[in-house]
Amino acid sequence: MSAKRILYVEDNEANRKIVRQLLKNTSYTLIEAYDGEMGVAVALERHPDLILMDIQLPKMSGLDATRRLRSEPATANTPIIAITSFALSGDDQTAKDAGATAYIAKPYSPRDLLALIRKILPEA
């Protein structure tokens, strides 16, 4: 059985590096995209098993990218974890309304993020 693929859509290299390190010793394969448009294109091409979607992205917001992925048959049921640094009241509902499966606010504990990933997408 092949490794489960996680797509991380995040424009900040430091944040991508944290998740790269976090997943290094797991069985997951990490795919990265740097903006919302690229995230949608990569998701439709590579069919990841889970998507980590930053909300504040260039070119297309994470919410718009999530809505777009939900409208595509290939990604309509792919779990999406929305990640935002703007943890304002109601943001979790806004993310869920856009189609996010779950929501985590920055700054988050990498251990908490990994626990959430494993809860939604158990390792092979």
pLDDT for residue 87: 60
For residues 90-114, give the mean pLDDT.
Answer: 89
For residues 35-60, give the mean pLDDT.
Answer: 96
Residues 6+ away with beta carbon under 8 Å from 78: 43, 47, 48, 49, 50, 51, 69
pLDDT for residue 2: 74
Least confident of 33-37, 105-109, 113-117: 105-109
Q: Which domains are assigned to the chain?
A: 5-120 (3.40.50.2300)
pTM, 2 dp: 0.94
